[in-house]
Amino acid sequence: MDNISLLTMAPVLNVQLLVDGLLIGAIFALVAYGLALVWGVTNVKNLAQGDFVMMGGYIAYAMTLAGIHPFLALPVAIVLMFAFGWLIYKTVIYRVVDKDLFTSLLATFGIAIVVQQLLNLIFGPEVKIAESGFGIGEYLDGGLTVSNIKVIAFFLALALALVVVLFMKKSRMGQAIRATSQNARAARIMGIDTDKVYAITFALNAAICGAAGVLISMIWVIQPYFGTSYSIRAFVIVTAAGLGNLPGVIMAGLGLGALEQFGSFILGAEFQQAIVVGLLLVILVIRQIQQSRHRQVVK
Amino acid sequence: MRLSQNSIALYVVVIALGFLASLLFPNELAQISGLVIVVVLIQTWILANKYMSVGQRAFVLYAVVIICGIAAPFAFPNYVTQIAILWLMILFALTWDMMGGQMGYNSLGNIIFFGVGMYASAIVQIGLYYDVAQYTSHAGAVKVQYDWFQYVFGMGLGLIAAAISAVVVAVVLGRVVFGLRGPYFAIGTLGAAIAAGELVGAWDYVGGGGGITMPTFPGSGDERSLFFYFALFGLALFTFAFLKWLYSRRYALAVNAIRDDEDKAEAMGIHTLRYKTVAWAMSAFLLGMSGAVFGNMSGFVEPLEVAFPTITFGIFMVLMALLGGKGTLWGPVLGAVVFHIIKELTWTYFLGWQWVALGMLIIINVAYFQQGILGWAQEKWPDFFGLTVDESDTREAAADASGEASK
Amino acid sequence: MNSIIEIKDVSKAFGGVIANQSISINVAEGGITGLIGPNGSGKTTLFNSIVGHHPIDSGSIKFEGAEISTFKVQQIARLGLLRTFQQTRIYSKMNCVQNMLISIPHRTSGILDMFKAHSPETNERALELLEFVGLFSKRNLIAGDLSFGQQKLLEFAMALMNEPKVLLLDEPTAGINPTLINGLIDRLKMANEQFGVTLFVIEHNMRVIMNLAEHIYCLAHGELLAEGKPDDIQNDQRVVDAYLGAH
Ligand SMILES: Nc1ncnc2c1ncn2[C@@H]1O[C@H](COP(=O)(O)OP(=O)(O)OP(=O)(O)O)[C@@H](O)[C@H]1O
Ligand SMILES: [Mg+2]
């Protein structure tokens, strides 16, 4: 709690936390956008979301081990994770996509465990970072320090999101995806191969996660078990913003990033997970109160 | 021809003799006699299927299970702890199924009640004779020595406290999460379980992340393991018997109705919130007590690995119920047995890969084997489960038909 | 005759869509009242408002003289005001008898009643009602395996099992084999006369509703268009226009 007084004594610290939070929040938003995409189209709530992110991160890490710059990992991770997502859909998800929601939730939970454990067996439990070799920028007379890679990653995340949004709006596949998410039955009648749409959506989401993971491996740290908190973050954001609400997802992502920075600064870094989980519970309770005014429940 | 009560009694005696034999030779011979028991049991079971009515079969089955349960620690003295944990697993699966299988409320956070019960009993058992805050601040440096009376009395009180506090937590938490349906309920309860572990870890009074050492058992090592074995066995047996009774009541249909269509149940005036709260509280009651026993059994209570192990015990309970067949009474029991064996084997032979195996098991179970063992068996042998349909048109015709059958 | 349900100036909008606009309807106690109107005219919405499925925007709904527009679904059901669903809803993984047994009235049940066994009388009553709707031979089948029409009949039997004072039926004959419709009309009338259940029925089948109801209300575009005796309604030019879409 002493840290609160620190914040009032050194106002520039607030700026530091805010900037850090917003920069990382953009990546949270990207991951959450992927989750919302799969959720909206296939109705599968992917609990392995964060673990896909970690996979992307480890692809970047593995490439730096081979002496390749992590930027180059971005396209590699996108392609590999797209293939991986496709494979997972064709082996597991297609079996549960029309089953009750708990079944698909649990299936993705199983995937999450397998991915975590395999990463752990391959790379070990230590935290890793993909060194990008960029310097640190100083602003406000040195009161605010931001590593350049964070800024670059922020804009890369925005650019990626923009590409995905354009794909959804302009391409034929994107339109098929949107049609399916609105009414799968009608889409089928119109001759859309919904199974293919589901597979592509799932793969696309995995690719988005992979890209986000590459960014995170450069600006933060990765670890086999850190995926879970990214999954929870994505759920927090989507639950707060609602499905099909892109501006909401972005706002919630940036907000969550900032809140987390302030929270863990004040309470201590060991409470980061607790803060995210606490936030999830708070949002669920708020949503319930909103719904009960409509005599409805949160479904 | 049907097996008479006498023949049943005969089998019971044979089994009891096998059990006595195992007492006389507590070594490899004992294990061989254990095998003999198993063979006899299988023989009994085959005969039972051939010659007995459903009711008699059930009677034999229960007798066999109880006798096995009593004999097991003597027949397999090296595996007492593993078999004790098996009973705990059965209790886990059954209590999870009360909500997940029977009512369709798939909780990923039932482990909360286990942990709450464990901590409640720890506080009571230590607080009875010591100051808890002082005790925990020494982080296990002070060893407390209880005599038999102190120990048993303390644990009795601890069990009661565990049950009550778990129920209170269930009722309060229920208020918060019962407005959530489907995946939101699952994720909300998962979040609550993670949060509970973190909260207790930050609570210095109970030792925070450092945990609490439980009072030492006053007897010998063998006595200790038998004591906890029978505590868990008794608890699991009670749970099963209670649920068997409960599922013959109006309660069962009401919670099944909630599972099938909660909106319809509300529209028909069923007190859905009441049923949900009572179901959740009952499973919390049982889990709380099991937590108290397990805390004492492990001798050390700590928030993340022992009391609120969300991704081990917390997920095991779900998996076992699904594996055996959710929404049935025997399914979770079967699932627990099969799961426990698989788990012990993988933990022994695939060490390092056991978690991968567990994750694969979850995936295969939900993606390729959704009906579970019992559901699969019921599809395969419907006659055996009495799932036949009388197609009479009127009540008179039906009465005739059933009159004929009983002749 | 007394009005058991009094609806006054009830309005309900979904975003921009005004589903009900200032509707006033009285349902006579002990009678059969009809509600008709073209697709999307707001009939189901009105039912949902009455049983507390969603809040209304304005107006008042009284049941037996008491305001119920702020009550929850379960409270209203326990008062004895029950509805069936247009999209038929039954407990799909339970068998028919179980569906019936759990549909007993829950008006007075206390917390300990959940641990009671089913009485032989309840069992008997469940079988009687299943026979009444012609589903006796299907009693041990899983309800979800029944055909749509059979599910509709089961839902009706479940509603009767609940001993309601008023039953709101949303298109009871939709999906029922035409040759069985006459039988169903008779059963509805019997439920009304013998069990004393007041009926409030949404129906698209004109022959059925004219045959059944004593008083009919007609909605169009969310507003009350006309009301009166079956004959008056049948000859009302506005009703005819509304159905032909000349509005
Ligand atoms: N939950 C809802 N959200 C948004 N709009 C709704 C909702 N329920 C109904 N509506 C709209 O309200 C209007 C009235 O619908 P309602 O279901 O009451 O019609 P209806 O008279 O029952 O029609 P039908 O004869 O086809 O059953 C329709 O335009 C419908 O689209
Ligand atoms: Mg309608």
State the ligand closest to the CA atom of C46. Answer: 1
| Two structure tokens written together for B340 | 């426990």
**Burial of residue B351 (number of CB atoms within 10 Å: 0-12, 13-18, 19+):** exposed
Report whether pLDDT(B404) > 50: no
Q: How far is B383 from chain A (nearest CA, A)?
A: 28
pLDDT band at B112 (very low <50, low <70, confident <90, very high): very high
- Nearest to residue C90, comparing CAs of B166, B375, B256, A148? B256
At A4, the pLDDT band (50, 70, 90 cuts) reads confident
What's the rounded Cα separation, in Å, for the pair A295 and C71? 9
Would you state the pLDDT for residue A209?
A: 97
Q: Return d(Cα C212, Cα C215) in angstroms, integer.
A: 9
> Is B366 within 8 Å of chain A by CB?
yes
- Kindly determine whether residue C53 and residue A295, on different chains, have CB atoms separated by under 8 Å: yes
B367 at interface of A, judged by CB pairs closer than 8 A: yes
Length of chain B: 407
Residue B354: the pLDDT is 84
In this prediction, residue B17 has a pLDDT band, given cuts at 50, 70 and 90, of: low
Top-confidence residue, B279 or C243: B279
Q: How confident is the model at residue B311 (pLDDT cuts 50, 70, 90)?
A: confident
Q: Which site among B253, B255, B379 would you substitute to test the C interface, given the most C Cβ atoms closer than 10 Å to its Cβ?
A: B253
Per-residue pLDDT band for B401 (boundaries 50, 70, 90) equals low
The alpha carbon of residue A227 is apart from the nearest alpha carbon of chain B, in Å, by 14
Protein residue with least CA distance to atom 12, ligand 1: C19
C204 Cβ neighbours under 8 A, 6+ residues apart: C36, C171, C174
- Given 3.40.50, 3.40.1440, 1.10.3470, 1.10.405, which CATH number is that of A2-298? 1.10.3470
Mean pLDDT of C172-188: 86
Average pLDDT (A64-75) is 92
Give the model's pLDDT for residue B234. Answer: 96
Distance separating the N- and C-terminal Cα atoms of chain C: 34
Query: Model-level pTM?
Result: 0.88
And the tokens for B386?
């009495």
Report the atom number in ligand 1 closest to the C-alpha of C48. Answer: 18
Q: Tens of pLDDT along B227-264?
A: 999 999 999 999 999 999 999 999 999 999 999 999 99
Domain ranges of chain C: 1-80+164-247, 90-163
Q: Are C11 and C57 in contact (CB under 8 A)?
A: yes
CB atoms within 10 A of CB A293: 9
Q: Which ligand 1 atom is at minimum distance from the Cα of C45?
A: 18
Rounded mean pLDDT, B58-83: 84
pLDDT at B141 (0 to 100)? 60
Straight-line distance from the first to the last Cα atom of chain A, in angstroms, rounded to the nearest whole number? 37
> In this complex, which chains have at least 3 CB pairs below 8 Å with chain C?
A, B
Contact between A39 and A164 (Cβ < 8 Å): no
- Closest-CA distance, A294 to chain C, in angstroms, reads 6
Question: Angle, to 10 degrees, between the axis of helix B182-201 and the axis of helix B111-127?
Answer: 30
- Please compute, for residue A291, the number of CA atoms within 13 A of its CA located in the half-sphere on the CB side: 14
Of C51, C53, C98, the CB nearest to B253: C98
Is residue B406's pLDDT more than 60? no
Sequence spans of domains, chain A: 2-298
Give dist(CA C211, CA C214) in Å, integer: 8
Q: Say which of B182, B199, B311 has its CB closest to residue A299.
A: B182
Cα of C233 from ligand 2 centre, angstroms: 20
Average pLDDT score, chain C: 90
Residue C40 alpha carbon to ligand 1 centre in Å: 5
Q: Ligand 1 pocket by C-beta < 6 Å: which residues?
A: C 14, 17, 19, 37, 39-45, 86
| A76-103 residue pLDDT tens | 999 999 999 999 999 999 999 888 888 8
Residues of chain C in Cβ contact (below 8 Å) with chain B: 51, 53, 72-74, 77-78, 82-83, 85, 89-94, 98, 101-103, 105-107, 109, 111, 113-118, 127-128, 131, 136-137, 140-141, 158, 162
Residue of B nearest to A238 (CA): B184
Report pLDDT digits (tens) over A220-242: 899 999 998 899 999 999 988 88
Tokens 């492990």 map to which residue? Answer: B298
Which chain A residue has the Cα nearest residue B361? Answer: A110
Q: How far is the CA of C235 from the centre of ligand 2 (A)?
A: 24
Give the separation between CA B129 and CA B153, rounded to whole angstroms. Answer: 11
* B86 vs B32: CA distance, rounded Å: 21
Q: Would you say residue A190 has pLDDT above 80?
A: yes
Long-range interactions of A117-124: CB distance < 8 A, separation 24+: A117/A224, A117/B353, A117/B355, A117/B356, A117/B359, A118/B356, A119/A51, A119/A54, A119/A55, A119/A58, A119/A224, A120/A224, A120/A225, A121/B352, A121/B353, A121/B356, A122/A58, A123/A58, A123/A61, A123/A224
| Amino acid in the structure at residue B192 | A
- Smallest CA separation from ligand 1 atom 20, residue: C40
- Report whether A240 contacts A233 (CB < 8 A): no
Give how far Cα C136 sits from Cα of A211, B225, B390, Å.
61, 56, 10
What does the block give as tokens for B295? 């805390």
Name which of B242, B254, B313, B311 is nearest B283 in CA terms: B242
CATH T-level assignment (fold) for domain C1-80+164-247? Rossmann fold (3.40.50)
pLDDT in tens, B139-163: 556 667 788 888 999 999 999 999 9
User: Cα–Cα distance between B280 and B292 in angstroms, integer?
Assistant: 18
Token pair for B70: 């009593």
For residue C235, name the pLDDT band (cuts at 50, 70, 90). Answer: confident
Q: According to the model, what pLDDT value does residue C126 have?
A: 95
A296's tokens: 């409805």
C31 vs C4, C190, C192, C215, CA distance in Å?
10, 12, 7, 9
The predicted-structure confidence for A253-292, as pLDDT tens digits, reads as follows 999 999 998 888 888 877 888 888 888 888 888 888 887 7
Please tell me the number of Cα atoms within 13 Å of B91 on its side-chain side. 30
d(CA A138, CA A26): 21
Q: What is the pLDDT of residues C185-233, one digit of tens each?
A: 999 999 999 889 999 999 988 888 988 999 999 998 988 988 889 888 8
Q: What is the pLDDT of residue A215?
A: 95
Q: Does C52 touch chain A (CB under 8 A)?
A: yes
pLDDT category at B20 given cuts 50, 70, 90 is low
* CB B374 within 8 Å of CB B325: yes
User: If you search the block for the tokens 């649990």, which residue do you land on?
Assistant: A106
Q: What separation in Å is there between the alpha carbon of C44 and the centre of ligand 1? A: 7
The first and second tokens of residue C128, run together, are 């009687």
Contact A106 B322 (CB under 8 A): yes
